[in-house]
């Protein structure tokens, strides 16, 4: 089974996964947290997991939990670097009540794709749009490549977090938009605003800035129809979905029906490779470029 995964990220490692958990190293901190896709057995023993993990997330009910530290002096916030041949970024990580820490490491594969495609646009400043943008890794990669970047998310706290990442990375002038993604795209279409690159990473469920309800299966086709109206003639597009209810064939059909898809369309699984040689799938990815 083929797929797409980040390459050579020395400051992050997926150490092992299985038993509905994953064991990860973020810089010098090793986290143990739930992972619903890890249905198989762990390669490392339970005692090895306990020994390696610095902080463990304990689920409390279905919507949250708490972090338990092996050493109480460990900080709740720390930094993580991403350095490649083209991109140098710094992320501010933080323990949240929902098992997240402020970054999805598998998305580094898209950061390189974004940089590569934006760098192909020579005669004007490329315009890049990040929808459901979270803490902004894609936005930062696009800015590194010299794009005019618009970053859209419906959570004010997340926008502030993204701004901190921008400043820590030595970047500036990203346009921050606190709004529901569907409303923003429809407004841009009415204004005739076009983008040379767009990434969408929609959640399975969500609530917009003004209480708008989002459900992936019900809303994704309409959103893609609207997105097709704001793409320039020569463009690139990335769509990530993390939902057990969708398949790569469904995603491919959605793109084929809504866009003038290039022959280099990739539709595959995004995954992380563990140090124990297991591939952890983390959603479906579809992307293509006319550049």
CATH number at residue 219: 3.40.50.150
Residue 264 has pLDDT above 60, yes or no: yes
**77 falls in which pLDDT band (50, 70, 90)?**
very high
- Computed over every residue of the chain, the mean pLDDT equals 93
Residue range(s) defining the domain that contains residue 214: 104-289
State the average pLDDT over residues 29-49: 96
The packing angle between helices 248-258 and 216-227, to 10°, is: 30
Residue at 115 is within a domain? yes
Please list the alpha-helical segments (H only) found in the chain. Answer: 46-52, 108-118, 137-144, 156-168, 181-191, 216-227, 248-258
Residue at 66 is within a domain? no
Residue at 18 is within a domain? no
Total structural domains within the chain: 1
Q: Are 30 and 40 in contact (CB under 8 A)?
A: no
pLDDT digits (tens, 9 = 90+) for 3-32: 999 998 999 999 999 999 999 999 999 999
**Which residue is associated with the tokens 């972090």?**
67
Residue at 2 is within a domain? no
Per 3-state DSSP, the chain is made up of helix, strand and coil in percentages (nearest 5) of 25, 35, 40
State the average pLDDT over residues 211-229: 90
Q: What is the pTM assigned to this prediction?
A: 0.94
**1 falls in which pLDDT band (50, 70, 90)?**
low
Residue at 22 is within a domain? no
Q: What does the alpha-carbon distance between residue 3 and residue 12 come to, in Å, rounded to a whole number?
A: 19
Residue at 70 is within a domain? no
């Amino acid at each position: 089974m083929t797929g797409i995964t980040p390459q050579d990220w020395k400051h992050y490692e997926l150490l092992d996964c299985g038993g509905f958990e994953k064991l990860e190293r973020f810089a010098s901190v090793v986290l143990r947290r739930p992972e619903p896709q890890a249905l198989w057995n762990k390669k490392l023993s339970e005692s090895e997991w306990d020994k390696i993990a610095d902080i463990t997330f304990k689920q409390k009910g279905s919507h949250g939990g708490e972090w338990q530290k092996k050493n109480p002096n460990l900080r709740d916030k720390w930094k993580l670097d991403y350095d490649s041949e083209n991109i140098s970024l710094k992320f501010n990580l933080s323990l949240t009540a929902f098992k997240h820490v402020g970054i999805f490491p598998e998305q580094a594969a898209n950061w390189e794709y974004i940089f590569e495609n934006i760098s192909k646009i020579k005669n004007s400043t490329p315009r890049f749009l990040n929808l459901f943008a979270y803490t902004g890794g894609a936005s930062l990669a696009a800015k590194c490549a010299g794009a005019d970047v618009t970053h859209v998310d419906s959570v004010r706290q997340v926008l502030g977090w993204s701004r901190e990442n921008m400043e820590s990375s030595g970047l500036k002038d990203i346009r921050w938009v606190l709004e529901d993604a569907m409303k923003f795209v429809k407004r841009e279409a009415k204004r005739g605003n076009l983008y040379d690159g767009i990434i969408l990473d929609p959640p399975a469920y969500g609530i917009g800035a003004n209480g708008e309800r989002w459900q992936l299966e019900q809303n994704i086709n309409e959103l893609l129809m609207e997105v097709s109206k704001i793409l320039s003639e020569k463009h690139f597009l990335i769509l990530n979905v993390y939902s057990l209810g969708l398949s790569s064939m469904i995603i491919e059909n959605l793109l084929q029906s809504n866009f003038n898809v290039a022959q280099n369309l990739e539709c595959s699984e995004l995954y992380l490779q563990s140090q124990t040689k297991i591939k952890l799938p983390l959603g479906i990815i579809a992307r293509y470029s006319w550049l």
